[in-house]
Structure 1
Amino acid sequence: MAGETIITVVGNLTRDPELRTIGSGSTVVNFTIAASTRQYNRNTNQWEDGDTLFMNCSAWDGRTSSLASNIANSLSKGMRVIAQGRLTQRSYQAQDGTQRTVVELRVDEIGPSLTRATAQVTRQASQGGFQGRSNGGFQGGQQPGQGYGNQGGYQGGYQGGAGYSQQSAPSNPAAQSAPATDPWSNAGSSDSGSFSTFGASSDFGGGDDSDPEF
């Protein structure tokens, strides 16, 4: 939407995400990201934390996504995350009767930072979106005359951060091998949670030639 302020924040969660359902029935999650600047102290020859920005964040479940629920199930206090969203301002009445205004980040995308950690990604079945062929999904590389059916859709979705584990910084990052559970490390894996199987014929509806041409 025109005029919105889009920012990206990298930092650590100060608390576990709080998932709740409001009166309208919508599901929202609230959490705070602490983003600290880093500066080099020439007197001590060490990197030191500078000022810290505490950014209040919120995310919502939608008709075609479970962003709020996925955040609550995947992320926890202390995890380093990368969040992108829109800055919003809202006013509310406090318990003492005063009117207050706060600025928060309405998160559109978020995931764990992998600079010093690993994460196992699990895909979820789509809850809506593009309606593909009757045998599932968009027909990649389809022949002329073939159309789209009435079922399927992209079987994507993102549930990141599950199995998140903290790591110490490697002395030689170039020599660090990929983790055993890295979904990119084994092109022949049949694990449904791995991206290595994405793009197979079963993901895009197979090679069904039974559809008549227009």
Structure 2
Amino acid sequence: MARFTVAATPRMFDKTRNEWVDAEAMFLGCTVWRQAAENAAESLTKGMRVIVTGRLRQHHWTTDNGEKRSAFGLDVDEIGPSLRFTTARITRAARGTGTSRPADTPAPADDPFSVPAGTAPGAGPDLTAPPF
């Protein structure tokens, strides 16, 4: 399991000042589980722009003073780096070993689930090379 906070800061154009300004930031606590947590911890760093999808949840609790509180959080399904201002090299995590190999490296021959890209039933095109 990994816990982290994602900040979302919308930008708005201020016509009176003729410039972009940051609106109020929103901070959302996130929790990711299992292998995705390991991969996120190995791949992402503080301050990195990320894309996160998941299920929004609301926690309720009562403080020691008897005040009722609540907060929102996100149970993460998918997380990865944003490619808006950066590039990324993808490596595939090997099953059960915690190690990784480049995405264009074929799976081990003894992998019963290994199928060449684009040949599995319902598979789309081979996207290992850019389309341009």
TM-score, length of structure 2 as denominator length: 0.67
For structure 2, the 5+ residue unaligned runs are 97-109, 122-127
Residue 137 of structure 1: which of 113, 118, 126 is its match?
A: 113
One-letter amino acid matched to 2:38: S
Secondary structure of 2:56's aligned partner: strand
TM-fit CA distance, 1:137: 2.2
Which of 59, 78, 92 is the aligned partner of 1:109? Answer: 78
Give how far 1:93 is off: 6.3
| Larger Cα-atom Rg | 1
Match of 2:28 in 1: 55
Aligned to 1:198: none
Change (3 A) 1:93 1:126: farther
Match of 2:10 in 1: 37
1:123 aligns with 2:92: yes
Number of aligned positions between the proteins? 108
Local SS of the residue matching 1:117: coil
What amino acid sits opposite 1:114 in the alignment?
A: L
> What SS does the aligned partner of 2:90 have?
coil
Once the two structures are TM-superposed, the CA of residue 72 in structure 1 deviates from its matched residue by 1.2
Deviations along 1:104-160, one digit per CA (max 9) or x if unpaired, are 000000111111111111112345xxxxxx763266479xxxxxxxxxxxxxxxxxx
CA distance in 2 between counterparts of 1:72 and 1:40 reads 35
Higher strand share: 2
| Secondary structure of residue in 2 paired with 1:72 | helix
Q: Superposition RMSD on alpha carbons, in Å?
A: 2.8
Q: Deviations over 1:44-88 (max 9, x none)?
A: 221111122111111111xxxx01111111111110001000011
- Counterpart-to-counterpart distance in 2, 1:141 and 1:32: 37
Distance 1:48 1:135, change over 3 A: closer
Q: Which runs of 5+ in 1 are unaligned?
A: 1-27, 128-133, 143-182, 186-214
